[in-house]
Amino acid sequence: MSHEYRKDPETISRLSPEQYRVTQEAATEPPFHNPYWDNKEPGIYVDIVSGEPLFASVDKYDSGTGWPTFTMPIEPNNVVEIADTSLGITRTEVRSAHADSHLGHVFDDGPAETGGLRYCMNSAALRFIRRDDLEHEGYGEYRRVFEHPDGERQR
């Protein structure tokens, strides 16, 4: 199934002020005061602007930071990592590949057993699609992520 993911001015105009600040101005939402930091439902997270698939709940973990945190993207080609020196230190910013939305940052202090990365994302940049709604929402091909026998995603 082929999808065209892109930044659309009409979609940008429908963003909430917080979603706009985060995705378009690289702001950071408050920790622990966002909808997905403690979401434990199975599903995938897509870019709020383009809908491109970014992360899956099977790769989500509680990092204690107050933001939704993942060990890896569901589609590596849908995320772009760039150097960010805005705070006077070098961090790695994560943006969506097709909509160029600011998503958050990736750090190298994640769980070693899953590759050591911590993708710390802003809920305001994401839309959550429950596993049971994947087909209805046009993301049926991602059911495979939840069908591995031991519950772990194939890497």
User: 67-100 burial, b for 16+ CB within 10 Å, e for fewer?
Assistant: bbbbbbbbbeebbeeeebeeeeeebebbbbbbbe
Residue 145 CA: distances (Å) to CA of 22, 33, 57, 96, 111: 28, 28, 9, 20, 20
Q: Which amino acid is at 107?
A: F
Residue 109, pLDDT > 50, answer yes
Residue-wise pLDDT for 9-53, tens only, equals 899 999 999 999 999 999 999 999 999 999 999 999 999 999 999
Nearest CA-CA partner of 131 in 55, 42, 39: 42
Residue-wise pLDDT for 67-99, tens only, equals 999 999 999 999 999 998 887 888 899 999 999
What DSSP character marks residue 93?
E
Classify domain 9-146 by CATH architecture: Beta Complex (2.170)
Residue 155, pLDDT > 50, answer no
Q: How many CB atoms lie within 10 A of CB 26?
A: 16
The answer to whether 120 is a known catalytic residue is: yes
Which stretch of DSSP H or E encloses residue 10? helix 9-13
Residue 94 CA: distances (Å) to CA of 14, 106, 133, 139: 22, 7, 26, 22
Instruction: Kindly state the average pLDDT of the residues 121-149.
Output: 94
Q: Which of 74, 120, 125, 126 is catalytic?
A: 120
What pLDDT sits at residue 126? 98
Structure tokens at 63: 């990092």
